[in-house]
Amino acid sequence: MEIPIFGYSVIHSPIISLNLRTPRSIVVLPFENISPDPENDYFADGVTEEIINALSKIEGLKVTARTSSFAYKNKSKDIRIIGNELGVSTALEGSIRKSGNLIRISTQLIRTDNGFQVWSDSFNRDLTNIFELQDEISLLIADKIRENFGHLEINDHLVTSQTNNIEAYTLFLKGRYFQLRWNVDDFLKATIEYEKSIQLDPKFYKPYFGLVQCYALMAAWGFTTDRLVALEKANYYLTEGLKVNNQSSEAHFALATKSLWVEWKPYEALSHLTRSLAINPNDSESLEAAAEAHIALGEFEDATNYIKMALEVNPLSANHHFTIGNIHYLQQDYSKALKCFERSLEIDPKWDFSLQVSACCFVLMGHKQALDSLLDEHKDLKDGYLFTHLYDAIHNGKPIDINALPEINDTYFSWKLWTLIYANEIEEAYKHLIVCIESKEGQYLNFQREPLNNPLKASKKYESIVQSVFDRPIYETQQTNEYKSKVPMTEEEQVYYKTKLEEVMLDYHLYASENMTLRSLAERIGLHANKLSWLLNEVLGKNFNEYINGLRVEAFKKKALEAAFSNYSLLGIAYECGFNSKSVFNDFFKKTVGMTPSNWLKKQNKKQ
């Protein structure tokens, strides 16, 4: 059985939506597994996700989240269409071949507006160097985006070694692969792989927090026969994981998961999520979880802001669209809710949460025909038959006959409570609600906002129930040990390095080098690459490629009028000046000069 879980998303079929491309943005598409063993899919998926996570740490770079990226797995789609759907300017494609302890990764970075290949490379390494390789690839990609689209502050390393035991790492990737299938059987497979990974390297922190998520969510949502055992395991692995690493985004996210879904402490959860997002601001899972915490508190404006941020990096998440709809539903704006659920179901027609709450909307709106159509189309909808009983109770004065129904379980929603309410068993409903609150069952987290619980809310007994359900606000003073200046260079430094830059470029004709990069140029003038990027973009008003190609165009203009180059073709002169692509030369020349190179030369010859 597939489980849709708050805070996580599964994608089956992406929909077309035109979004404005953000200049400094990228989607890392799932790397193709070309290994002899097709089961190495988990490894290709894991490396893809590691690169996504590494790039997501760069402030100012929009990185499409894993869910939306993996919507394109095993699908052949024009890169320009993908750019439109995700609103990104670049896409990374790649393939992985793993054989024994050897690995070959081939990658190419492509512009999504015109399909132009910005960069490509292949890497052959020993598997023991996998973290260094992921770091190298991530840095190269980030540099190329910065060179083409504008300034970014990039750390010297984006991926650090997490374990020296490669087998432990591959078992973790296999566990993550199973976990992200989001169904009960694969959750159990994931826990087996994670536990094997820990046995091989107890100091490798990631599998601990993978186990926390698996066991905590299975316990919170009742997807295990022994909830207490699952909670004990979640607590055990959380404690052990924090001993190894208590400062990672995974650690804070795991703590937030426990705080919100197991302990019903949304304020504490938000405190942990603030720390998680400080480390990884593009993490859509943390943004989604923050939205869920605010929903529990009835802070719908804050919840909406967080889920919209999640959608910025994860536009093809069925669950994110559901969450926006759920915010409208809990505010009893059913028409807006249904529009969001419709969008969610365009992405995944079987997304149970959107189907279930759509049915709730139709019941509460009195739209019997729409309800019947939904139930007829989705005959396998979990608990679907109960919506008809609910409708009859609310609109036709027919209380639910509990004795005539089969045994009811709270799989996704609080059906046990609803059947008691609409069977007019109000006292029993209060008793049941108290038990569920005391045991903190995940289906009841939002009981205070649920419209179907409205018949309970007028009583003083209900008022006494909701007192002190959640924790109290946590007020924290944000402190930083490092002051980040918006102007990283003094005016004197700016003048000095501008002059030095011009000298090395013109005296040594460095612009003519095909292999010139922002980092190599920064090293040449004795400046950190981040500062050179800032100088070019903020002071000179050009990104690295615009600066270099501008110098190449000026060099072309001079050479094209010199007798020594009269026998050269225009493209030959362009290559002499450092261009290595006809289309790049022609496009940039026309963009900056306002006419084609040949028309410009004709005009200059007429003047002479």
Q: Are residues 18 and 149 in the same domain?
A: yes
Tell me, letter by letter, the H, E, C secondary structure of 486-501: CCCCCHHHHHHHHHHH
* pLDDT recorded at residue 3: 44
Q: Are residues 500 and 381 in the same domain?
A: no
More confident residue, 279 or 395: 395
Work out the average pLDDT over 515-529. Answer: 93
Is 177 domain-assigned?
no
Is 174 domain-assigned?
no
83 pLDDT exceeds 90? yes
Arithmetic mean of pLDDT over the chain: 90
- Which amino acid is present at 544? F
Q: What is the C-alpha separation between 103 and 136, in angstroms, rounded?
A: 14
Is 481 domain-assigned?
no
The DSSP H or E segment spanning 120 is: strand 117-126
* pLDDT recorded at residue 18: 46
More confident residue, 15 or 205: 205
Paired sense of beta strands 88-99 and 102-111, if any: antiparallel
What is residue 25's three-state secondary structure? Answer: strand
Distance set, CA 63 to CA 24, 161, 248 (Å): 9, 22, 19
What is residue 157's three-state secondary structure? Answer: coil
Q: Are residues 441 and 589 in the same domain?
A: no
Residue range of the domain that includes 595: 491-607
Work out the average pLDDT over 521-545. Answer: 94
Q: Are residues 44 and 101 in the same domain?
A: yes
First-to-last CA distance in the chain? 79
Is 389 domain-assigned?
yes
Beta carbons of 316 and 284 less than 8 angstroms apart = no
What confidence tens digit (pLDDT) does each residue in 191-206 have?
Answer: 999 999 999 999 999 9
Beta carbons of 256 and 272 less than 8 angstroms apart = yes
Is 603 domain-assigned?
yes
Q: What is the C-alpha separation between 239 and 328, in angstroms, rounded?
A: 37
Q: Highest mean pLDDT: which of 19-23, 108-112, 174-178, 474-478?
A: 108-112
Choose one of 140, 161, 182: the last residue of a domain. Answer: 161
Q: What tokens does 585 get?
A: 């030369």
Q: Where are the alpha helices (DSSP H) in 247-367?
A: 249-257, 266-279, 284-296, 300-313, 318-330, 334-347, 352-365
Q: Are residues 23 and 126 in the same domain?
A: yes
CB atoms within 10 A of CB 17: 14
More confident residue, 218 or 530: 530
Is 256 domain-assigned?
no
Q: Are residues 551 and 459 in the same domain?
A: no
Beta carbons of 359 and 368 less than 8 angstroms apart = no
Question: What is the band of 221 on the pLDDT scale with cuts at 50, 70, 90?
Answer: low
608 pLDDT exceeds 60? yes
Work out the average pLDDT over 582-608. Answer: 92
Q: Are residues 320 and 460 in the same domain?
A: yes
Q: Are residues 460 and 358 in the same domain?
A: yes
Work out the average pLDDT over 566-586. Answer: 93
What confidence tens digit (pLDDT) does each residue in 94-112 have?
Answer: 999 988 889 999 999 999 9
As a whole-number percent, the residues of the chain with pLDDT over 70 amount to 93
Choose one of 161, 184, 208: the last residue of a domain. Answer: 161
* Sign of the CA dihedral with 406 first, then 410, 412, and 417 last: positive
Q: Are residues 314 and 454 in the same domain?
A: yes
* Sign of the CA dihedral with 374 first, then 378, 382, and 386 last: positive
* pLDDT recorded at residue 11: 40
Question: What is the band of 261 on the pLDDT scale with cuts at 50, 70, 90?
Answer: confident
Residues in CB range of 15: below 8 A, 6 or more apart? 85, 316, 343, 346, 347
Q: What is the C-alpha separation between 441 and 434, in angstroms, rounded?
A: 11
Is 33 domain-assigned?
yes
CATH number for the domain including 434? 1.25.40
What confidence tens digit (pLDDT) does each residue in 393-424 have?
Answer: 999 999 999 999 988 877 778 999 999 999 99
Choose one of 122, 139, 161: the last residue of a domain. Answer: 161
DSSP 456-521: GTTSHHHHHHHTT-S----------SS---S--S-HHHHHHHHHHHHHHHHHS-GGG-TT--HHHH
Q: Are residues 325 and 458 in the same domain?
A: yes
Work out the average pLDDT over 556-564. Answer: 94
Q: What is the C-alpha separation between 436 and 434, in angstroms, rounded?
A: 5
Q: Are residues 417 and 509 in the same domain?
A: no
Number of domains into which the chain is organized: 3
Q: Are residues 564 and 601 in the same domain?
A: yes
CATH number for the domain including 529? 1.10.10.60
CATH number for the domain including 84? 3.40.50.10610
Is 500 domain-assigned?
yes
Work out the average pLDDT over 128-138. Answer: 91
